[in-house]
Structure 1
């Protein structure tokens, strides 16, 4: 009598659960990191957009926020003049250059590795001398002003909130002063009452204003982007 065929033993894949889904990667050691720092690093390791950015050579996952916005607007193109406020580490400027922009200047408090043909200033954007320097380097009025700025926080919620709002307002004021008619302003903001006020302010000077939540913006973040198109011209005194 012949024996029944034996069942082949299949080794369960490693790195997954019983349901077959991969387990989140965890850091093996904290190395003197605080719990919040540890959590942030683990989130970065497991974040698909961070992995895509590393594979593509982008300096930050924020690059995918701008690519998604520009896929809808198509404003980053050859011949456009662009100013990038708060460009460090350079993901947004990389996207602009990749899409054909050659006239681009940026500023940040932090040092940024060169990205030819971009001109980069390391200074405080709120310094009164910064705006004229950006305009001199650009050599004309911008078609697009980008702002992914975020202030240094001090840990006091109310103070940090005021700094955030103040920086957004400074970016708006700058855009209204320098943009070409028909120009575009894209800026990071945060959900709250002040956002509604900013949108109302922008609507007085642009033909269309929307808030936009890119897929690359984490779901648990209050971050959103103000996208204003069709600049009507400089406000009258």
Structure 2
């Protein structure tokens, strides 16, 4: 099940004490306590609620297949890497790369490094033992609260991830990246349309309603 149960009414929980917490911290903790996807992720053993976003994107676009080579950029804490391992099976090769150190995920190769560094890109390709079938990026910069600034910053990050994908993907491969709704991605979209056969956008059910995030899904890499 990738959607929360409909009978969540009346389950809202309040923090027992707000002592020592900022208002922002209180709001975040309350939201976490009452987020059905947080509970579902905990029950299913996913490291983050974001796992359901990839599951729902996969159900819509059929991205993950047995035996694929997959790169998960900005992988920590590992929810997307876990889903990728589960859906590619024993023959798949999944590499998670992040600036942060990550706890071991069975079936995945986890690397600590920067995807913009040539040496780390080489490490990824060596771990895959070939080009990638799918490059995933759920990365987002720290938000400022200023929508236009945050939009430009995440577009810049997504463009860097796209540059990486264009170097490591095999023909026919796919690229998925998080964006914020805005409109500054025209140049990036034009590049993707020239290098992939299909470029589509989606907001998974697991994305919070008040979030401006959406995902670009580019398939059929032309090489």
Which residue is 1:225 aligned to? 215
Task: Report the equivalent of 2:95.
Answer: 105
Distance 1:137 1:21, change over 3 A: closer
Which of 53, 59, 62 is matched with 2:50 structurally?
62
**Equivalent residue number for residue 91 of structure 1:** 79
Q: Is it true that 1:42 corresponds to 2:42 in the alignment? A: no
- 2:123 aligns with 133
Is the Cα contact below 8 Å between 2:152 and 2:184 reproduced in 1?
A: no
Please provide the CA RMSD for this pair. 2.0
TM (norm. structure 1) is 0.83
Aligned counterpart for 2:107 among listed residues 117, 135, 142: 117
Match of residue 3 from structure 2: none
8 A contact 1:87–1:108 mirrored in 2? yes
**Structure with bigger gyration radius:** 1
What is the CA distance between 1:130 and its match in structure 2?
2.0
The whole-number CA distance in structure 1 between the counterparts of 2:34 and 2:57 is: 24
- Distance in 2 (CA, whole Å) between partners of 1:50 and 1:23 is 14
- How far is 1:155 from its partner? 6.9
Contact 2:76 2:100 in 1 (8 A): yes
Q: Could you tell me whether the CA contact under 8 Å between 1:83 and 1:104 is conserved in 2?
A: yes
Q: Tell me the TM-score normalized by structure 2.
A: 0.88
Q: Tell me what 2:17 maps to.
A: 29
Looking at structure 2, the residues matched to 122 and 230 of structure 1 have their Cα atoms a distance apart, in angstroms, of 29
Query: Displacement of 1:30 after TM fit?
Result: 2.2
**In the alignment, what sits opposite 1:17?**
none
**Alpha-carbon deviation of 1:222?**
0.7
1:72 CA drift (Å): 2.4
Mark the runs of 5 or more structure 1 residues left unpaired by the alignment. Answer: 1-19
Q: Supply the distance in 2 between the matched residues of 1:23 and 1:67 (Cα, whole angstroms).
A: 25
Q: Tell me whether 1:197 sits opposite 2:187 in the alignment.
A: yes
**C-alpha spacing 1:154/1:221, structure 2 compared with 1 (3 Å):** closer
- Whether 2:173 is the aligned partner of 1:183: answer yes
The runs of 5 or more residues in structure 2 that have no matched partner are 1-7
Distance 1:74 1:161 in 2: 27
Deviation string for 1:128-171 (max 9, x for gaps)?
Answer: 32211111111100000001112245677776554322211100
More strand by share: 2
Contact 1:199–1:226 (Cα < 8 Å) also in 2? no
Mapped contact 1:53–1:61 kept (Cα < 8 A): yes
Verify the 8 A CA contact 2:175 2:217 in the aligned structure 1: yes
